[in-house]
Amino acid sequence: MALIEIDNLHFSWTPGGPGVLAGISLQIAAGERIAILGANASGKSTLAQWIAGWLPTAAATAETGGLTVQGKAYGDHDAASRPGLAQFTGQVPMQQLSGFAFTVFDEIAFGPGNLGLPEAEIRARISDAIRICNLEALKDRDPFSLSGGEQQRLSIAAALAMQPEILVLDEPTSNFDPESRDALLDQIERLPAGLTIVLADASLTTALRLAARFVLLDAGRIIFDGAAAALLAHPRTAEIFGLPEIRLAAEYLQSAGLWPAGVPMPQSTGAAISVLRPLLAASGVSQ
Amino acid sequence: MAAAKDKDREKTLLYVPGEGWLHRLNPLTRLTGLGLVAVAAFALPPAATIVIALVATLMGTVAGAGAVFLRRLTLTLGPLALALFVVHGMLMDHPNRFGFLGLDLSHDGLMYMVKILGRIAALLSGSLVFVTTTHPSALLKALDSHGFPPGVSYLIASPLLLLEPFTQRARAIREAQMARGLDLEGSFFARIRAFPALLLPLVTLALADIDHRAQVLDGRGFRARPRRTVLDAPKDSPRQRLARRVMLGLAPLLIVGAFFWH
């Protein structure tokens, strides 16, 4: 049984309003790292909120279909076990703060404390979350005084301290400069292997770095579900995102007859180097 | 920059770090003491309220917060004392008038001023002792560890924590609206007319924030259990528990006594 099952989900924010999700069916297995990609208003953030259990609400329900986690709708899990199922980290880091804690340490402790866990277990969880998200130097700081990148790391740490089965990240690096983005992605890459990560993003760079499976949304429908190579070859990918520079360079080489026949287009700088290095060596170019 | 923000928060809170005996008391003991001072300020006669204010000021100055305490007390109480002196001692039509240094004063008016000022001074000095020696996070932990509902702690913490982001947002809206041509530097009436353009987005965004933050709290299991586990809860002792019970017992006695004294 899949960890998350979405069956023919139709959803709009207002009854009778424009459909945001139009017949989404998707299964996500435990431990998968999946990216939900799409242009603005394609429905990826809304789908991410469904996967994290933030939807439905009393005012916003599915028109048809629904979502189950471990075979049950979120509403059928009890309030104390839901935080252990899924955690959501949104686009605006400051909004993820509880408004209850005066230090980074207390912000991370807030969730496990709410669950009434033993003190030793809470301390162990905090220690792990601080180490993974590299927050040791900030643990006594006021959460609201941190930079956006630091707050994003804190919100991920607070989510990890709940030891969720699923971590949903909605455009976690959208407000970051490239250096901060790379630093955060490094942290996310180091998250425990068994954790299911759902990344909703409009950036191919971020998605290619983190995910192994890619879902492409267009106007609330899934138009692609598969691996990176096929995603990059999909006609809508280039239209929505443009192509990553490395792929553009490879296509240029292919069109010039310089790319080896039968070798797929690279998805990363490393893959491109592994193809180009023997070519350069054969042509006598020093590396 | 970030460290400066941390210091700004500390200034907003008025808390002064320290290791004195007042700081070492459990926050609930200080809170109970403040409650008793508040009851006493209204129940006891003026002379007693002045004694309470003096004792609280001495405690605040010597045992706890020093300069911050005195500065806040003076800045708040000084103008108030002056205003009460002018209004009740000179302007209001109180009987028993006499001349002093060329001023036409009323004895009854001054007595009334002392009565009001004594109450306010007792309340203010007691409150200042509390806020300058109690970090809100310590109070939250004390409340949580003594079984108070988590919602009570949240009501105390969230206004203190969210005030600064709210102010930042108000400033950003102001700048954004001014960039779009809103006149905020014109006449008084121009500013009044511009007010809705500032207030509406602020309120709308605040309401959206509430919804989002409620989701965050649900996601982190807030109130999923009746009791929270509290790390590093402030120390308590049998003596302090006894002191709190005594103070709680004294409060109704003071209220009953007030009916006889007045």
Which pLDDT value is given to residue A121? 97
Q: Does the pLDDT of residue A158 top 90, yes or no?
A: yes
Percent of chain B surpassing pLDDT 70: 94
Residues of chain A whose beta carbon is less than 8 angstroms from a beta carbon of chain B are 52-54, 79-80, 82-83, 86-88, 90, 94-103, 106, 109-119, 122-123, 141-142, 144-147, 158-159, 162
Q: Phi and psi of A159, rounded to 5°?
A: -70, -45
pLDDT at A54 over 80: yes
- The band of A55, judged by pLDDT with boundaries at 50, 70 and 90, is very high
| A116 has a pLDDT exceeding 90 | yes
Q: Answer yes or no: do B222 and A80 touch at CB < 8 A.
A: no
Tell if the CB–CB gap between B228 and A116 is shorter than 8 Å: yes
CB atoms A82 and B218 under 8 Å = yes
What residue type is assigned to position B86 of the chain? V
The answer to whether B55 and B124 have CB atoms below 8 angstroms apart is no
Q: What is the dihedral of CA B111, B113, B116, B120, to 10 degrees?
A: -130
Q: Check residue A259 and give its pLDDT.
A: 83
- Return the pLDDT at B26: 96
Please state the separation of Cα A24 from the chain's center in Å: 18
CB distance A100–B157 less than 8 Å?
yes
Contact A83 B231 (CB under 8 A): no
Chain B residues touching residue A162 (CB < 8 angstroms): 219-221
pLDDT over 80 (residue A167): yes
Average pLDDT of span B127-131: 92
Averaged pLDDT, B164-176: 85
Check residue B10 and give its pLDDT. 58
Give the C-alpha distances (Å, rounded to integers) separating B104 from B108, B109, B214: 13, 11, 60
Average pLDDT for A14-35:
93
Is residue B12 pLDDT above 70, yes or no? no
- Cβ separation B213–A83 shorter than 8 A: no
Chains A, B: CB pairs < 8 Å: 118
Residue B114 in this model has a pLDDT that exceeds 70: yes
Instruction: Please answer yes or no on whether B225 and A123 come within 8 Å at the CB atom.
Output: no
> Does the pLDDT of residue B124 top 70, yes or no?
yes
What gap in Å lies between CA B213 and CA B211, rounded to an integer?
6
Highest-confidence range of A101-115, A269-283, B152-166, B207-221, by mean pLDDT?
A101-115
pLDDT digits (tens, 9 = 90+) for B233-248: 999 999 999 999 999 9
Kindly tell me if the per-residue pLDDT of B6 is higher than 80: no
Residue A91's pLDDT is 85
User: What pLDDT sits at residue B7?
Assistant: 60
Q: What is the pLDDT of residue A189?
A: 85
pLDDT 10s digits, B82-97? 999 999 888 888 777 8
- Which SS3 state, helix, strand or coil, does residue A9 take? strand
**B-interface mutation test, from A144, A165, A167, A170, most B Cβ less than 10 A away:** A144
Across A271-282, average pLDDT:
79
Lowest mean pLDDT among A54-63, B59-68, B69-78: B59-68
Confidence of residue B24 (pLDDT cuts 50, 70, 90): very high
Predicted local confidence at residue B212, as pLDDT:
85
Question: Of B5, B158, B220, which is closest to A83 when you measure between CB atoms?
Answer: B220
Encode B247-261: b = buried (16+ Cβ within 10 Å), e = exposed. Answer: beebbeebeeeeeee
- Band of pLDDT at residue A164, cut at 50, 70 and 90: very high
Residue A285's contacts (CB-CB under 8 Å, 6 or more residues apart) are none
Q: Which of B154, B161, B209 sits opposite A95 (nearest CB)?
A: B209
Please name the residue of chain B whose CA is at the shortest distance from the CA of residue A59: B211
Which of A33-37, B21-25, B55-59 is most confident? A33-37
Considering only residues B189 and A166, tell me which one the structure prediction assigns the higher pLDDT. A166
Q: A20: burial class by Cβ within 10 Å (0-12, 13-18, 19+)?
A: buried
Residue of chain A minimizing CA distance to B4 = A145
Q: Supply the pLDDT for residue B241.
A: 96
Rounded Cα gap, residues A118 and A115, in angstroms: 9
pLDDT for res B25: 94
pLDDT in tens, B140-160: 999 999 988 888 888 888 887
Interface pTM, i.e. ipTM: 0.81
More confidently predicted of A284 and A119: A119
Asked if pLDDT for residue B4 goes beyond 80, the answer is no
* pLDDT higher than threshold 70 for residue B3: no
* Structural domains of chain A, ranges and CATH numbers in brackets: 32-53+78-237 (3.40.50.300), 243-287 (no CATH)
Closest to B217 in 3D by CA, of A255, A249, A269, A82: A82
CB B91 within 8 A of CB B48: no
Higher-confidence residue: B21 or A222? Answer: A222
Q: Which chain B residue has its CA at the smallest distance from A147's CA?
A: B2
- Mean pLDDT estimate for chain B: 87
Between A22 and B195, where is the model more confident? A22
The answer on pLDDT for B23 being more than 70 is: yes
**Would the CB atoms of B137 and A102 count as touching at under 8 Å?**
yes
**What is the pLDDT, as a whole number, of residue A38?**
94
Q: Select the more confidently predicted residue: B79 or A177.
A: B79
What is the average pLDDT across A85-108?
91
State the pLDDT at residue A286: 55
pLDDT band at B27, cuts 50/70/90? very high
CB atoms within 10 A of CB B182: 19
pLDDT value of position B2 = 53
pLDDT at B168: 82
Q: Do B157 and A114 touch (CB under 8 A)?
A: no
- Mean predicted confidence (pLDDT) in A209-233: 91
Distance CA B228, CA A114 (A): 5
Residues B128 and B60 sit within 8 Å (Cβ to Cβ): yes
**Which tops the pLDDT comparison, A6 or B162?**
A6
pLDDT above 80 (res B8)? no
- Model confidence at B5: pLDDT above 70: no
Provide the pLDDT for residue A32. 96
- For residue B175, is pLDDT > 60? yes
Minimum-distance CB partner of B216 among A82, A96, A115: A96
The whole-number average pLDDT for the span B105-124 is: 91
| CA–CA distance, B229 with B90 (Å, rounded to integer) | 58
What mean pLDDT is reported for chain A? 89
CB pair distance less than 8 Å for A114 and B137: no
